[in-house]
């Protein structure tokens, strides 16, 4: 689904100010000043959307946002600790860029909370998707009642849409608005494409007359690769790092994981590579010291090999 959505999206017209595209993070911050809850969705196959959501979370922290609810989080994630992201934190948060996002949230002292529906009590004979969205909206409202700060919601795909379909079915954002009486600020990051290599705010005038689904649409750029890795990560501060010769397994399917030095083995890695026989790709990591290991079906996980990534 996610792949098909990416292929089908169209290039949007950027919103301009003074002849230049407006900064999308600043634009969201200004809109969020007057909202008690902001919902922003990711593309499950697009880590770039997670990086963008991280920038939004940083910018909103000083605007009264201290609670962060995510669709992926498991009940046991814990509001304030540990600082490192764990494999047990959620259903799809074990991806490295999501792990980096959790690290950023922890450093900003966000309280992390789940809001996914309890599938154990869903009636499987009914509309499972609709029941799920109703429960999600109820969980978010309960979270808002428990805390006094503003709430930032990290949704999956377009589940937080405010669209009410002709057949009466509603997405989670619409259900939340109707049942709570609170109008959420909703932000889409997957349906539109940026014309260049940076995210843009899509001009809302282009969507006038269409059924309302999102308050803000962000066009995300097409991926550009360098040495087989996404270039946006280089621009964000990552550096190429070669896999040490002692760890290379060129004749086997191998998974390589790099964690900050000293972190426990069940933390979400900063980078992960799956290489097939004959493939060669570099790691992408911020400057620092790491513990690197490799997994193969024959041998399991290797002993840790230290790796240093220099700032230059």
Report pLDDT digits (tens) over 208-267. Answer: 999 999 999 999 999 999 999 999 999 999 999 999 999 999 999 999 999 999 999 999
Q: What is the pLDDT of residue 3?
A: 47
Q: What is the pLDDT of residue 153?
A: 98
Q: What is the pLDDT of residue 84?
A: 92
Classify burial at 296, counting beta carbons within 10 Å of its beta carbon; exposed 0-12, middle 13-18, buried 19 or more: middle
Q: Which residues contact 305 (CB under 8 A, 6 or more apart)?
A: 244, 246, 247, 291, 292, 293
Q: With contact defined as beta carbons under 8 Å apart, do 73 and 113 qualify?
A: yes
For residues 27 and 177, what is the distance between their CA atoms, to the nearest angstrom?
A: 22
Q: How far is residue 83 from each of residues 58, 89, 263, measured CA to CA in Å? A: 16, 12, 10
pTM: predicted TM-score of the whole model, two decimal places:
0.94
For residues 21 and 202, what is the distance between their CA atoms, to the nearest angstrom?
A: 9
Residue corresponding to tokens 């360098």: 226
Residue numbers in the chain where pLDDT is lower than 50: 1-3
The 10 Å Cβ neighbour count of residue 203 is: 17
183 DSSP assignment? -
Q: What is the pLDDT of residue 301?
A: 97
Classify burial at 294, counting beta carbons within 10 Å of its beta carbon; exposed 0-12, middle 13-18, buried 19 or more: buried
Q: What is the pLDDT of residue 1?
A: 39
For residues 275 and 286, what is the distance between their CA atoms, to the nearest angstrom?
A: 21
Please report the sign of the dihedral spanned by the C-alpha atoms of residue 50, residue 53, residue 55, residue 57. Answer: negative
């Amino acid at each position: 689904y996610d792949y098909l959505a990416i292929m089908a999206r169209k290039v949007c017209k950027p919103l301009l100010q003074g002849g230049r595209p407006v900064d999308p993070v600043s634009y969201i911050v200004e809109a969020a000043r007057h909202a008690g809850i902001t919902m922003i969705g990711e593309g499950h196959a697009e880590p770039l959307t997670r990086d963008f959501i991280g920038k939004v979370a940083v910018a909103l922290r000083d605007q009264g946002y201290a609670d962060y609810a995510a669709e992926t989080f498991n009940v046991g994630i814990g509001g304030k600790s540990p600082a490192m992201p764990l494999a047990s934190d959620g259903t799809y948060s074990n991806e490295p860029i999501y792990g980096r996002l959790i690290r950023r949230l922890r450093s900003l002292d966000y309280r992390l909370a789940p809001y996914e529906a309890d599938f154990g009590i869903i009636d499987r004979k009914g509309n499972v998707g609709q029941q799920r969205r109703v429960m999600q909206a109820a969980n978010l409202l309960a979270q808002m009642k428990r805390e006094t700060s503003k709430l930032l919601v990290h949704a999956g795909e377009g589940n937080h849409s405010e669209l009410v379909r002709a057949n009466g079915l509603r997405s989670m954002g619409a259900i939340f608005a109707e049942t709570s009486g609170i109008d959420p600020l909703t932000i889409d990051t997957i349906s539109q494409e940026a014309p260049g290599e940076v995210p843009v705010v899509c001009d809302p005038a282009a969507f006038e007359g269409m059924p309302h689904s999102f308050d803000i649409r962000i066009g995300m750029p097409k991926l550009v690769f360098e040495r087989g890795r996404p270039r946006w990560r280089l621009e964000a501060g990552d550096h190429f790092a070669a896999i040490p010769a002692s760890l290379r397994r060129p004749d086997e399917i191998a998974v390589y994981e790099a964690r900050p030095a000293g972190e426990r083995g069940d933390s979400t890695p900063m980078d992960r590579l799956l290489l097939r026989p004959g493939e060669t790709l570099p790691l992408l990591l911020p400057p620092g010291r790491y513990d690197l290991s490799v997994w193969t079906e024959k041998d399991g996980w290797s002993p840790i090999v230290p790796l240093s990534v220099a700032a230059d």
